[in-house]
Structure 1
């Protein structure tokens, strides 16, 4: 099964099919996602709640209507279980994958709507914007937690890092925008290591120090 070839062929077919509405397309892509998760078997079980959530379909009747219409149009082969104890099954059509005509149509579509060159000012501006936004900020606090966990640090250190830079707008010193938050996190981890080593050394010295030793002689016969 060629993932890219199938998806390209399906999208080309969708492009030329006037019967389809956005609901059909979103449901088909949700089915394709789960087909991929199951490693592209001949057919696979479907979960209505999961598909409705992924396809952004809010009505059960709409979901079933779109599913049956995709079956009638030949995009899928829908096998309802008619039993709450068993999952319904779906098979996605693979006829387009073998069609050179469909793929050639796809090339003509992309040649028509994709310019062969981009004006230099626009290209430079887009490139600069992408460079500026690439990794500047984490997508969520969870991404930071996962990064610190992979580096061997607990969630408390990750939360301290996230809260610190979130409060100052992800800027170094509150002035310079961060270009790569992961690099900033690595610096944070290095500093945390240095602080731990310094604290450990201080504790060792404190334990080894004789607190009764003083530099001057003290007369313990004198009142305090």
Structure 2
């Protein structure tokens, strides 16, 4: 029994099963924990009070409904008992075996598909969303909030957003931006450099340089 392989397969099943609610998943993980404590035996005695406490289930009726759902959906096999001297037996289904099938209690064949390699579609989708959000902000307000968090002038946020929106969020109009936060930091570095440069005196083309109020001593050699 491979602990990690089984959980990866279980989460893959959870992702595609819209019947499951948070209570089902919490109960399943708790049962898996106790299954692990029993060294992954075919079946183990389930202490309802302990399981409810760990799974954060408050009522008996909720517990029985959830565990019956998991059993009916073949995530586990639940063998209840009405005898107070006997304990309830739970068997967690083997989601991944070498041949892609699983055997239940007493060698009963379970009809559940077990992927050998769990696809990382959810993880890949999340990464794509992160990359897309890093390349450009959702709107102008997101840029303003980011600049405000860095204590940068809000007017620079508007300049930055309008500039890169006009060129399709590409550096130099050619290269796709990978992280607009880093590009904004570079924008502010350049803006600071421009502010710190000495301002050039604007001279009118009609200025007569021969007319001056400055007293000069023309007796000194050049």
TM-score (norm: length of structure 2)? 0.49
**Higher RCO, Cα 8 Å, sep 6+:** 1
Decide which structure has the larger Cα Rg and report it: 2
Q: Which has the higher helix share?
A: 1
